[in-house]
């Protein structure tokens, strides 16, 4: 059985809006009214009341906490609500660390595109040229660009299966990138490279190895040197095989048939360059502003993060492709274009992104994390879309 592919659920939801293991269950959601904090700039056109409503009732059945940061020319707003953990009922930590899931892919794509700008990697060159022997000899050429925009045709790796219980039982297992790729390439390609788009972690697992081969350094150190340190993202880290979240953080829970289970501790080595980063809302906001301002990826390469492959559809669907190199493109009902990325790990649902004006300048930014009790569900947490719409549309 395969691990269910990761999806950018909030971005997909925005697009749609256009037209138990052995662990003991934790206490139920029965605590005093949540604490909340917010700040807003004067003369803001943000719908701050709508933003506050999206998290005002926390903790609730679908989430235990949430943190939101909105910025840009329309004004700024910061809000946090819910509890740090259900046992104590202490107020949520607005600066708490969390698992950002597939937001990791934006960091990975940014490093690859930096290497492109440095002429160390070519987007149209087959990855087999950089990593000989990694893929089967009978595979056709798969370019770096096709890995970045999920049009490679590679299949997902096998794993413990989709049910939460199966994955929870293996939550402390360590999996290497080489094991994942060997599992994925034991099967034929899903489609001819470049013909379809299928969002899968395996593409970014290969890109992590590409970064290491080209730089002669570890993937994690390259992200640290190129992005985290220059931006002062001191609360962002890669846990490796360590199942713990370092520093202050809000606990994550998963809803099961027998109650809520604490899923905060989890070895995410299988996600690696595709989804294992730990961060804070403030750090991700700093990264979002720097990225869309052209301070991380040179603008000549940044354009690739804003371009969806033309003329192709999603795998097993007639829907047009929506993923760029590292991001997702969505259009709001008023025609506003939004570029962003979501990430779902058990206990945590994260989103980041921005709207741009006609000149490509930042109009508005959004970062949020919802401590979702069912973050890995197919439809995502029901708060994700309301948060995005409240943050990105004027009052």
| CATH code (residue 269) | 3.40.710.10
Which amino acids are annotated catalytic?
A: 102
Per DSSP, the chain holds a count of helices (H) and strands (E) of 14, 13
- Whether residue 73 lies inside any domain: the answer is no
- Whether residue 132 lies inside any domain: the answer is yes
pLDDT value of position 211: 98
Q: Is 81 helix (H, G, I), strand (E, B) or coil?
A: strand
Q: Is 61 helix (H, G, I), strand (E, B) or coil?
A: coil
Residue 101 domain boundaries: 9-28+85-350
pLDDT range class, residue 17, cuts 50, 70, 90: very low
Residue with tokens 């962002």: 236
pLDDT value of position 162: 73
- Whether residue 41 lies inside any domain: the answer is no
- Whether residue 264 lies inside any domain: the answer is yes
Q: pLDDT (tens digit, 9 = 90+) per residue, 230-255?
A: 999 999 999 999 999 999 999 999 99
pLDDT value of position 337: 87
- Whether residue 35 lies inside any domain: the answer is no
Residue with tokens 């933003």: 51
Is the distance from CB of 91 to CB of 108 less than 8 angstroms?
Answer: no
Residue with tokens 């395996």: 202
Over 80: is that where the pLDDT of 150 sits?
A: yes
Please give the Cα distance from 68 to 328 (Å, whole number): 20
% of the chain with per-residue pLDDT over 70 = 89
Q: pLDDT (tens digit, 9 = 90+) per residue, 330-382?
A: 988 778 889 999 999 999 999 999 999 889 999 999 999 999 999 988 778 99
pLDDT value of position 296: 98
pLDDT value of position 35: 45
Number of domain units in the chain:
1
Residue range 308-330: mean pLDDT, rounded: 96
Is the distance from CB of 354 to CB of 39 less than 8 angstroms?
Answer: no
- Whether residue 50 lies inside any domain: the answer is no
Q: pLDDT (tens digit, 9 = 90+) per residue, 29-47?
A: 544 344 444 444 444 688 9
Q: Retrieve residue 308's tokens.
A: 């969806």
Q: Which residue has the higher pLDDT, 394 or 66?
A: 66
Q: What is the pTM of this model?
A: 0.91
pLDDT value of position 334: 77
pLDDT value of position 391: 94
- Whether residue 208 lies inside any domain: the answer is yes
- Whether residue 186 lies inside any domain: the answer is yes
Q: Is 44 helix (H, G, I), strand (E, B) or coil?
A: coil
Residue range 194-208: mean pLDDT, rounded: 98
% of the chain with per-residue pLDDT over 90 = 81
Cβ of 328: how many Cβ atoms within 10 Å?
24
Please give the Cα distance from 10 to 382 (Å, whole number): 9
Peptide bond between residue 122 and the one before it cis (omega within 30 degrees of 0)? no
Q: pLDDT (tens digit, 9 = 90+) per residue, 271-314?
A: 999 999 999 999 999 999 999 999 999 999 999 999 999 999 99
Please give the Cα distance from 117 to 215 (Å, whole number): 14
pLDDT value of position 159: 83
pLDDT value of position 15: 41
pLDDT value of position 44: 64
Average model confidence (pLDDT) across the chain: 90
Lowest average pLDDT, out of 69-78, 164-173, 356-365, 376-385, goes to 376-385
pLDDT range class, residue 74, cuts 50, 70, 90: confident
> What are the residues whose beta carbons fall under 8 Å from the beta carbon of 81, sequence distance 6 or more?
34, 35, 36, 55, 56, 58, 65, 66, 92
pLDDT value of position 228: 98
Total residue count of the chain as it appears in this document: 395
């Amino acid at each position: 059985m395969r691990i269910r592919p990761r999806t950018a659920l909030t971005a997909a939801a925005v697009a749609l809006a256009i037209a138990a293991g052995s662990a003991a269950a934790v206490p139920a959601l029965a605590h005093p009214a949540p604490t909340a904090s917010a700040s807003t700039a004067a003369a803001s056109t943000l719908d701050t009341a709508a933003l506050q409503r999206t998290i005002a009732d926390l903790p609730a059945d679908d989430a235990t906490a949430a943190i939101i940061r909105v910025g840009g020319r329309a004004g700024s707003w910061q809000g946090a609500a819910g509890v740090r953990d259900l046992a104590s009922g202490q107020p949520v930590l607005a600066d708490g660390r969390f698992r950002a899931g597939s937001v990791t892919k934006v960091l990975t794509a940014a490093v690859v595109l930096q290497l492109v700008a440095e002429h160390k990697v070519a987007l149209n060159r087959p990855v087999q040229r950089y990593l000989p022997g990694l893929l089967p000899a009978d595979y056709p050429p798969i370019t770096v660009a096709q890995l970045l925009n999920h049009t490679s045709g590679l299949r997902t790796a096998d794993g413990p299966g989709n049910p939460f219980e199966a994955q929870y039982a293996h939550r402390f297992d360590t999996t290497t990138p080489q094991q994942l790729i060997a599992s994925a390439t034991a099967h034929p390609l899903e489609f001819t490279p470049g013909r379809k788009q299928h969002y899968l972690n395996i593409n970014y697992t290969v890109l992590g190895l590409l970064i290491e081969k080209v730089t002669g350094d570890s993937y994690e150190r390259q992200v640290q040197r190129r992005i985290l340190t220059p931006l002062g993202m001191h609360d962002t880290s890669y846990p490796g095989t360590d199942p713990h979240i370092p520093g202050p953080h809000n606990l994550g829970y998963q809803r099961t048939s027998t109650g809520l289970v604490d899923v905060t501790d989890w070895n995410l080595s299988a996600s690696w360059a595709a989804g294992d980063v730990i961060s804070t809302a403030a750090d991700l906001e700093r990264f979002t502003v720097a990225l869309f301002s052209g301070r991380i990826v040179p603008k000549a390469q940044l354009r690739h993060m804003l371009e969806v492959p033309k003329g192709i559809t999603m795998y097993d669907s007639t829907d047009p492709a929506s993923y760029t190199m590292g991001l997702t493109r969505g259009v709001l009902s008023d025609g506003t274009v939004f570029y962003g990325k979501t990430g779902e790990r058990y206990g945590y649902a994260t989103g980041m992104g921005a709207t741009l004006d006609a000149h490509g300048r930042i109009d508005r930014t959004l970062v949020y994390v919802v401590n979702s009790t069912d973050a890995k569900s197919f439809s995502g947490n029901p708060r994700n879309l309301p948060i995005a719409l409240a943050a990105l549309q004027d009052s």
